[in-house]
Amino acid sequence: MAGYRSTQIRKPESETEFEQNSVVLFCGILKDPNIKRLGTRGQKQYGVDLVGHRDRDPKQVVGIQCKLKTGTKKLSKAEVCTEVSKALKYKPPLTEYVIVTTAANDTNLQQYTQELMQAQEAQGRRIQIDVWGWGILSEAIKNDEKAKQAFDPGFSPSVAAQTKAIIALAKGQGKLATQAQVAELDANMARLGSTESVKLPPHFADRELASRLSRTLRRRGFATTDTAQELADLAERALDGDLSFASSPVRFETLDRAARANASPKTVAAAKR
């Protein structure tokens, strides 16, 4: 489809956000609900930001390092070497160590971690070492609904599930307006003129709001679409505008998604609104 790109997970904007979101992701990956952020800034962390256990097995200690890279910045081989060297000193000994980064996937780094694993094996220690670039990390996030919600608030569960829920909400509000009724309402609005604010009656508002919300969520994969802004504009219509007579469940769904979609430093005012 022209102008379409595959769904992109929003990258975190701070190290703290990256670590907090990664806790949710690795709780699912490791099947350990007790993944913890390690220590505080300024404390020695041995190259480990998060720590947990594979399948809650105390003998399988897993360390995760989060490396936030902005723009086109890359994770270097030297950084990987430094972090792995520190992680090898962690007590109790790690059985797995993963560096996750917002930088692009790098085959050279993955090969380098394989060399590091072989070197440790030669010394009598078995440890799984890996680097997950943003491509690998994004795929893992997409396969975990809770992680999707953490990294990309407002767009989980899937669009298909969202649309189904919205349709169900609209159907629950009673008989929807017919095409003839909509045409009559359009004519009345035209007669009132653009200077007078018109609020749609409940049945009309429900239909319009549910339809607009569904359309906005379906369009989020298009390269030119600003979904957060579209949801914010729709929320304004549901708050005080022409769609403010829509039923509470449909309005709540719209406002909730708009708030979560705008939950970032640049659009926090819209989220609070």
Segment 81-102, tens digit of pLDDT: 999 999 999 999 999 999 999 9
Euclidean distance between CA atoms 106 and 74, whole angstroms: 9
- Three-class HEC string of 145-182: HHHHHHHCCCCCCCHHHHHHHHHHHHHCCCCCCCHHHH
Tokens of 115: 């060399």
Tell how strand 61-67 and strand 96-101 pair up.
parallel
Q: Look up residue 215 and give its amino acid.
A: R
Q: What share of the chain has pLDDT > 90, as a percent?
A: 47
Q: What is the DSSP letter of 241?
A: S
- Calculate ∠ Cα 214-217-223, nearest 5°: 140
Yes or no: say if 209 and 254 are a contact pair by the CB < 8 Å rule. Answer: yes
pLDDT at res. 201: 84
pLDDT at 6: 41
Residue 241: predicted pLDDT: 87
Supply the pLDDT for residue 5. 38
Check whether 31 has a pLDDT greater than 50: yes
Mean pLDDT of 44-67: 93
Of 5-9, 56-60, 109-113, 269-273, give the lowest mean pLDDT range: 5-9
The CA distance from 239 to 232, in Å, is 10
- Of 247, 243, 245, which is closest to residue 216 (Cα–Cα)? 243
Amino acid 40: pLDDT: 60
- Average pLDDT along the chain: 83
Mean pLDDT of all residues in 33-39: 90
Q: For 116-157, how does the pLDDT look when each residue is reduced to its tens digit (9 = 90+)?
A: 999 999 999 999 999 999 999 999 998 998 998 888 875 544
Res. 22: pLDDT tops 90: yes
Euclidean distance between CA atoms 15 and 22, whole angstroms: 10
Closest CA to 208 of 197, 218, 199: 199
Question: What per-residue confidence (pLDDT) applies to 196?
Answer: 47
Identify the CATH assignment for 15-151 out of 3.30.1960.10, 2.102.10.10, 3.40.1350.10, 3.40.50.720. Answer: 3.40.1350.10
User: Which residue is it, tokens 């653009």?
Assistant: 194
Calculate Rg over the CA atoms of the chain: 24
Ranges assigned E (strand) in 20-177? 36-37, 50-53, 61-67, 96-101, 128-132
Q: What is the pLDDT of residues 245-258, one digit of tens each?
A: 888 888 888 998 88
- Contact status, residue 15 vs residue 41, Cβ threshold 8 Å: no
Could you tell me the residue ranges of all domains in the chain? 15-151, 159-272
Which value, to the nearest 10 degrees, does the dihedral of the CA atoms of residues 124, 125, 126, 128 take?
A: -140
| Distance in angstroms (rounded) separating the CA atoms of residues 207 and 213 | 10
- Banded pLDDT at 264 (limits 50, 70, 90): confident
pLDDT for residue 122: 97
- pLDDT above 80: residue 184: no
